[in-house]
Amino acid sequence: MKTKYHSLIKLGIPPQKAWEWANTRKGHWRIANSYILHRTITNKILERVGYKDLTILFEKAHSNY
């Protein structure tokens, strides 16, 4: 539980919400497409760690038609 809580805090979630979300009874698989991740792992964060924005890549690939 501490790991989830501290990870959410690092991602900018307020402590009260981080505590609430970290103590959910749902497992990682059930949280995978939830509101929690949509709020915490944004495209900006994914780009910062090295992933490319798929929307931009898609637009580039299809703008040549």
Q: Report domain extents, the chain.
A: 2-62
Phi, psi torsion values for 50, nearest 5 degrees: 115, 0
pLDDT at 1: 60
pLDDT at 33: 83
| CA atoms lying within 13 Å on the CB side of residue 19 | 3
Tell me the per-residue pLDDT of 9-65, one tens digit each, with 9 for 90 and over. 998 899 999 999 889 888 778 888 888 888 888 888 888 899 998 888 899 888 866
pLDDT at 34: 84
Alpha helices for the chain (secondary structure H): 2-10, 15-22, 28-31, 35-40, 43-48, 54-62
pLDDT at 54: 86
From residue 51, how far is each of 24, 31, 35, 40 by CA, in Å?
28, 21, 21, 16
Q: What tokens does 44 get?
A: 């900006």
